Structure 1
Amino acid sequence: MIMKGAKQSRISKQFSPVSCDSHLQTLRESAVKVASSEDLLIQILLKVPIKALMGFKCVSKQWSSLITNPHFVHLRSPLPSASSLFFISSTRKRKNPDYQFIPLDVGDEWRTPFKILDFIHDPLGSGISVLQSCNGLLLCASFRAHELSRRYYVYNPTTKQFAILPQIGSQYAEHVCGMNLAFDPVRSPYYKVVCVRRVGNLFQIEIYSSETQLWRVSGKPFTAPEYTEFQNCIYWNGSVHWWSGSFHWSNGIIYGGHWRDVPYTLYFKVDEESLERLPSPKKPNYLVPKYVGESEGHLHLVEFKYTILLDVYEMARDYSGWFVKYQLDLYAISNVYPEIIRENKTYAYHIISLLRKGKEEEEDGSFLVLEIVGGKTVRYNLVDKSVEKLWEFAPG
C-alpha cells in the first residue's frame, strides 16, 4: 500500500510539463483576445513609453495603423492640453513668424513644442504661419503669399506629421475668402477643411476631407451678413462658426471689434453640410463683443460695457439662445494692478482666453486670461474673483 502510494506521488510529479503547456496555451489565447480587441489594445498601448511605442509600430500593420491613428495620438499626446497652454505669434518679420508658448496655470512651465514652423520648406520662401488650431491640429499656410500661389498645410506638432492640401481649382483660388479646419477626434479620426470662396455677390462652400483627400462643392451659393469674416472661425459643437464685424483674430480665438448690429451670424454644420443662423445676444444697447471663444465644449462671448462689470455669455448646445454665465469684475483686477486704469478712468486690457475647468457643478477653476498695461498676463478666477500673474512679456 505504501509502494502504491509512492508510485502515485511520482506520477503526480510528471504532470508539470503538461501544466506548463496548458499555461502557455492560456497565454496564447489571452494574447489573441488582446490583439482582437482594439479597445483593450489601446488601453495597454496608452501606458507604453513613447520610445517603445515607436518600436511597436513594426509589430504589425494593425499596430502601426493604430499607433499613428489621429484619435490614438490625441489620447496619447505628451503635450499639455489646450486648457494648459496658449501660444502667440510675432508676425512683424518678413519671414518665418516665431511663436511663444505661455502656461495658463500658475507656476507651470512647459517645453516649447516649436519656435518656428520648419516641418517643410515652403517653396514661396517666406515661411509658414498658423491660421487656426483645432483639437491638437494646426491649419497653416504660406506666410505673406498671394492667394493664387499660397499653399495650405495641416500639421500635427505632437507627431511632427503634416499634409499638404491639394490646391483648390486655379480658377477659384484668388476668390478664396477663408479656410477653416474642423477636427474632433471623438467624432472621427479624419479632419475636414471648409473653404469659402466668392462667386460674384454670393459665396460657395467647398470641403476637403482627409479620408478621401479630395475637394468637393457643398450646397448652393449663399448670402452672408455684411462684414462676415470667413477666415475668423471657431469650431464648436461639430460646426464652423463665423462672425460679422471688424474683429481681431488669432489661433482660433476672436476678440475686439464691432458686432455691426446684425441680428445673426452664420455657422456651418460640417457633418450635415447645412448652413444655419446663430442669433446675436438680445440686448437693448449696441453690443460690442470683447471676446468670442470656445473651451471644454462651451461657446462664450464677453460683452464690452462702459461699467466695471462685463457679462460673459454662453450659448446653449442646442442653439436655443445665449445666457449670462459669469460676470467679470474689473474693480477686482484694478485692486491688484491699478495700472489697468487709464488717466481718463477707463480700463485698458485685452482678453486673451477664457478657460473652463472642473465639472459643471464645481467650476471654481474656470478663469479668464488678460493682458494689461506693461505686458503682464494675469489670470482672473471667474468664481472667487481672485487675480494672479501668469507671465510678463519683455519690453516691445
Structure 2
Amino acid sequence: MMKMRTKRSRKTKQISGVSSHLDLKSSPAIESAVEVASNDDLLIQILLHVPIKTLMGLKCVSKHWLSLITDPHFIRLRNPVPSASSLFFISSSRKRKNPDYQFIPLDVSDKCAIPFKVLDFIHDPLGSGTSVLQSCNGLLLCASFRAHESNRRYYICNPTTKQFAILPQIKSQNLKNVCGMSLAFDPLRSPYYKVVCVRRVGDLFQIEIYSSETLFWRVSGRPFTVPKYTEFQNCVYWNGSVHWWNGSFHWSNGVMYGGHWRDEPYTLYFKVEEESLEQLPTPQKPNYTVGNYVGESEGHLNLVELRWDCLLNVYEMARDYSGWFIKYQVDISAISNKFPIIRENKTHAYHVISLVRRGKTEDEDGSFLVLEIAGGKTVRYNFADKSVEQLWEFAPGYKFYDDDRIRQLCGLPYIESLCCV
C-alpha cells in the first residue's frame, strides 16, 4: 500500500497546478486537467484566451508555464492584431518631475482599470522621471524628463510587463545635434524593434538606426535635405509630428507652427526596412484651414482638416501613396448642439485627439473621432450615425487644459502586450 501511495505522489508532482490530495482515478475533472497539463498544444489554445493580466500571474505556476507564456511564438499568437484599448495624455508641462498620465476609455461603457499613473518602474538617474514620446504596438519610447539632449537617456518599455531597456547613447559628439527619436515595432513581422534617430549635420540631416537584435547604432544612408519647417520630434503637443504607418515614419512640416502643414508640395517619409527616403504629397487645402490632426489607426493614415466654417474634412492616404482622398466630412454643429460651449469660441473650443478606425466594410463602419472640448471634457463623434457621446471629464484641478482654451495635448494608444524589450 505504501508503494502505491508513493507512486501516485511522484506522478502528481510532475503535473503543474494539480493537487496531490485528490485521487486521480476517482475524478474525471482531474483526469482532464492532467491531459491538458501534459498537452502543450491544448494548453496554449487555452492560454491564448486568458486575459493578459491573468497570464502575468500564471507565469509563476511553473517554469514550464513561464517558458510557454514568454515564448515569442506564443506572444505573436496572443496579440495577432494589436488594437488600442484607451488613450493616455502626457501631463501638464508645468510639472517639474515625474509626469503622470490620465487614461480615457474609447467606449462610453468601458470602465477599464488604470494601467499606471507614473512610469515609476523606470529609474532615470537624472531624478526628474521619464516622459512618453511615442506608443507603438504595445511598446513605449520614453526619455528623461526635462533634460538637455547631451544628458538625456532614452528607454524602450512595456508598461504591461513593466520591463524596460536603456538605449545606448550615440557618439557623444553627435548628442547635441539629435533632432528626434522614433520607435518602429511590428510584432507580426519580428520580435525585434528599431529606433530611428535623426540628427543635424550642418545644414543637412543624417539618420542612424538602433536594432534590438544587434544592440548597436549604425549610420543609414547619406545626409539629406528636408522641406522647410519639417519636424522630427514626437511632440506632446499638436498630436506630434512623427507618424508610424505602413512600415514607415511620416514627418509633418509645420504642425508646431499653428497646427497646420506649411505650403509645401510634399513632406518626407522613411521606409524603415528598405532604409529609403520618399516624398509624401500634401493635400490641397483651402485658405480657411485652421489646423490639422494626422494619425494612424487600424492600418489607415488619416488627416483631419479643421476649417473656419465649422466643417472637418477627414482625408485618407492611399496605401500606394498615390494621394489623399476625402473619407468623411463632419459638421461640427452636431457637437456644438449638444455642447454649446463650442459656439462661444470656435477657434479654440475643440481639438481632435484621435481618429479611431473600426470595421472592415462600409456597412460595418464603427469609426469615430475623439475630441477634447473646452471645460475639460472629451467626446466621441460616431461617423455612421453622427451621434455624439461624452467619454470623460477631467477631475477639477487636473490641468490638461487651460480655463480659457484647451491645451491641445497628444493622445497616445495604450495596448496590452507581452512583447519583450
TM-score, normalization: structure 2? 0.77
Residues 11-50 of structure 1: pairs in structure 2 closer than 5 A: 42-47=44-49, 49-50=54-55
Q: Which structure has the larger Rg over C-alpha atoms?
A: 1
1:182 aligns with 2:184: yes
Letter in 2 for 1:279: P
Question: Contact 2:107–2:391 (CA<8 Å) still a contact in 1?
Answer: yes
Helix, strand or coil: the match of 1:230? coil
Helix, strand or coil: the match of 1:353? strand
1:319 and 1:106 map into 2 onto residues whose CA distance is 35
Helix, strand or coil: the match of 1:378? strand
1:235 aligns with 2:244: yes
Q: Which has the higher contact order (CA 8 A, sep 6+)?
A: 2
Question: Contact 1:356–1:363 (CA<8 Å) still a contact in 2?
Answer: no
Q: 2:59 is matched with which residue: 54, 58, 62?
A: 54
Letter in 1 for 2:389: E
Query: What are the ranges of 5 or more consecutive residues in structure 2 without an aligned counterpart?
Result: 1-31, 234-240, 398-421
Question: Contact 2:312–2:329 (CA<8 Å) still a contact in 1?
Answer: yes
Greater CA deviation, 198-207 or 226-235? 226-235
Letter in 2 for 1:102: I
2:254 alignment partner in structure 1: 245
Identity level (%): 71
Question: Contact 2:255–2:292 (CA<8 Å) still a contact in 1?
Answer: no
Letter in 2 for 1:149: N
1:341 and 1:71 map into 2 onto residues whose CA distance is 53
Judging changes above 3 Å, is the alpha-carbon distance between structure 1 residues 41 and 321 closer, same or farther for their aligned structure 2 residues?
farther
**C-alpha deviation, 1:130, in angstroms:** 0.4
**C-alpha deviation, 1:45, in angstroms:** 3.5
Question: Contact 1:71–1:185 (CA<8 Å) still a contact in 2?
Answer: no
Letter in 1 for 2:69: I
Question: Contact 2:210–2:218 (CA<8 Å) still a contact in 1?
Answer: yes
1:143 aligns with 2:149: no
Question: Contact 2:206–2:223 (CA<8 Å) still a contact in 1?
Answer: yes
2:71 and 2:199 map into 1 onto residues whose CA distance is 31
**C-alpha deviation, 1:71, in angstroms:** 6.6
Judging changes above 3 Å, is the alpha-carbon distance between structure 1 residues 41 and 171 closer, same or farther for their aligned structure 2 residues?
farther
Question: Contact 2:243–2:251 (CA<8 Å) still a contact in 1?
Answer: yes
Q: Map Cα deviations across residues 283-313 of structure 1 (whole Å, 9 max, x no partner).
A: 4547554211111110000112221222100
1:141 and 1:346 map into 2 onto residues whose CA distance is 32
Question: Contact 1:229–1:243 (CA<8 Å) still a contact in 2?
Answer: yes
Question: Contact 1:71–1:189 (CA<8 Å) still a contact in 2?
Answer: no
Question: Contact 2:142–2:154 (CA<8 Å) still a contact in 1?
Answer: yes
**C-alpha deviation, 1:140, in angstroms:** 0.3
Q: Map Cα deviations across residues 171-217 of structure 1 (whole Å, 9 max, x no partner).
A: 11111000000011112111100000001100000000111111111
Q: 1:152 is matched with which residue: 154, 158, 169?
A: 154
2:357 and 2:242 map into 1 onto residues whose CA distance is 20
1:181 and 1:223 map into 2 onto residues whose CA distance is 22
Residues 1-396 of structure 1: pairs in structure 2 closer than 5 A: 42-47=44-49, 49-50=54-55, 53-55=58-60, 58-59=63-64, 64=67, 67-69=69-71, 72-73=74-75, 76=78, 82-90=83-91, 91-231=93-233, 232-247=241-256, 257-283=259-285, 285=287, 288-342=290-344, 348-396=349-397
Q: CA RMSD in A?
A: 2.6
1:131 and 1:92 map into 2 onto residues whose CA distance is 17
**C-alpha deviation, 1:347, in angstroms:** 6.8
Letter in 1 for 2:245: W
Q: Map Cα deviations across residues 303-356 of structure 1 (whole Å, 9 max, x no partner).
A: 12221222100001111110000011111111111111126x667211111111
Q: Map Cα deviations across residues 53-110 of structure 1 (whole Å, 9 max, x no partner).
A: 40366128xx62x533567446547xx9653300012132101000011101012111
Question: Contact 2:288–2:309 (CA<8 Å) still a contact in 1?
Answer: no
Letter in 2 for 1:390: L
1:67 and 1:272 map into 2 onto residues whose CA distance is 32
2:232 and 2:62 map into 1 onto residues whose CA distance is 40
Helix, strand or coil: the match of 1:50? helix
**C-alpha deviation, 1:51, in angstroms:** 5.4
Question: Contact 1:196–1:230 (CA<8 Å) still a contact in 2?
Answer: yes
Query: What are the ranges of 5 or more consecutive residues in structure 1 without an aligned counterpart?
Result: 1-26, 249-255
Letter in 1 for 2:335: I
1:23 alignment partner in structure 2: none
Letter in 2 for 1:310: L
- Greater strand proportion: 1
Judging changes above 3 Å, is the alpha-carbon distance between structure 1 residues 182 and 57 closer, same or farther for their aligned structure 2 residues?
farther
